[in-house]
Amino acid sequence: MPNQLFIAGQWRDAEGGATFEVENPATGETLATVADASVADGKAALDAAVAVQDDWARTAPRDRGEILRRAFEIITDRTDELAEQMTAEMGKPISESKTEIAYGAEFFRWFAEEAVRISGRYSVAPNGATRLLTLKQPVGPCLMITPWNFPLAMGTRKIGPAVAAGCTMVIKPASLTPLTMLSLGEIMAEAGLPEGVLNIVTTKSTGKVMEPLIRDPRLRKLTFTGSTEVGRSLIEQSAEQVLRVSMELGGNAPFLVFEDADLDKAVEGAMLAKMRNLGEACTAANRFIVHESLAEEFASRFAAKMAEAPVGPLVEAKQRDKVAELVDDAKEQGAKVLTGGEVPDGAGYFYPPTVLTHVPQQARMWQEEIFGPVAPVFTFTDDDEALRMANDTEFGLVAYAFTESYSRAIKVYEGLHTGMVGINQGVVSNPSAPFGGMKSSGFGREGGDEGIEEYLETKYVGLAL
C-alpha cells in the first residue's frame, strides 16, 4: 500500500520525513502512516505538473483516452482489494465501497470516450470577409482538493476529464482517507500515464500547503469538493490569479413526498437517499418533507426500515459528535424519536440510523447539513408550501420528489432551486450526467458532456481572406 508522496512519477518521502496517522473509524486505531507534505513538497508537485503540461497537451486524444480505459479496467479488476482498503480507512460497508468503486471507475470509462470528441467549429463571418475558427484547448495545470467521504469517486470524476482534456494535475486527498487516492496514483502509472501528469500530495496542513499553489501564477484551475465554508475561502484565494474554478460544496437536500406518491417507492427511495454512504454524502436527503395525510404512515414505515439497517461508523469522533449534537438539539425542541437517537457504547465512531418526527423548523438540522444516518420528518399541506419549504435553505445541490403525477413532477422540478432533481428515485449521481449545484452548493459541473468543458478553454481565430 503506497504511503509516500507521488511527484513526477516517483514515490518519495515528505520533506524531513514528516508523517501523519490514518485511523480506522471502526476501532479508532491507527491504520497506516503516510507522508505529511510541506510547502516545498507542494511546490515540487506543481513544478512537475508545469514541466510536462505542454507535452501532455500535444498527446493524441486517442492515447489519452486509452490510458483512462486501461485504468478503468485495472480498477474493476481490483475491486475487492480496493474495497477492503476503502472500508478500512473510511468506515463504509464493503458493499458500499464496491458500489463506489464501480461508480468511480465509470468516470474513467466515460471520459475515455469523451477525449476523442473534443471539437470546435468553422463558420463564415456575416460580411463574408473572414472565416471564424473556434477550437478547444486544455486549461493547463490544475489543483484538485477532494473530500474524505468518497475516496475514489471524488478523484476519478476530476482526474478523468482532466486527463481527457490534456491537463496536468496536483491532487490533494483528504487527510482522513488518503490511502485510496495513493492506490489510484499507482494504478494510473500502471495504466501508462506519463510522469508528472498526476501528482499526489498528502498533508494534514491543507491550507498552509495549498494556498501557495493557488496563488502561483502557473496554476490555471482549482477544483474543490467539500464544505461551503472552506469553498468560500478557496474562491477568495483563487481571485488573485483569476483561476478557472469549479466548486461542489455543501447540501441540504429536501425529500418531498406528495399526497399521490407510491409509499412503497417513497420509502425505498428514502432509504437510498438517506443511507447511501451512511448519510455521509452531500447528496444525502437531509429534510423529509411529507404531505400531512401520509406523514405518519411514511415515518412509521421508514423507521421500521431504518431500524433494520446496519449500524456503521462515521468517519471520525468529531463527525459523530456533530450528528449527536443535531439530534439532541431537535429532541430538546420537542422532536420524537422513532428509532435510534443515542450514541452506542463501545469502540469506534458508530451512530445508529435515526428517524425523528415533530421536528420544528427552528431545529438546527433544518438548515445545517447532517452528514450522518439521521432523518427528520416534516409535514406540508399543499404543493406551494412544499416548494417553499424545500427552497428554504442557502444550499441548492439536489432534491428528491415522489409523485405519480407527471404534471406535478414538472412543476416541482421546475420550481426547485437545485442543480439536480430525482423524481421517484433516491439516487441521481451518474457519470454520464452533469453533477453540481446552485447557490451555496457551488458552481461548475462534473460528469456528462459538461464535465470536460470545465478543463477546456475556448479560443477563437479570425482568418482574413
Q: How many helices (H) and strands (E) does the chain have?
A: 14, 22
Burial of 33 by CB count in 10 Å (0-12 exposed, 13-18 middle, 19+ buried)? Answer: exposed
Provide the grid cell at 459.
Answer: 479560443
Task: Give the number of other Cβ atoms within 10 Å of residue 3's Cβ.
Answer: 16
Q: In angstroms, rounded to a whole number, what is the distance separating the alpha carbons of residues 19 and 1?
A: 15
What are the backbone dihedrals phi and psi of residue 65, each rounded to the nearest 5 degrees, phi first? Answer: -65, -35
Strands 142-145 and 130-138: unpaired
H/E element holding 319? helix 317-332
Residue 106: active-site member: no
What CA dihedral angle connects 282, 423, 303 and 339, to 10 degrees? 20
Active-site option among 96, 248, 369, 454:
248
Q: What is the CA radius of gyration of the chain?
A: 23
Cβ contacts of residue 201 below 8 Å, gap of 6+?
5, 7, 37, 41, 42, 45, 170, 171, 172, 209
Its sign, for the CA torsion 45, 3, 80, 74, is positive
Q: Are residues 311 and 350 in contact, defined by beta-carbon separation less than 8 angstroms? A: yes
Residues noted as catalytic: 248
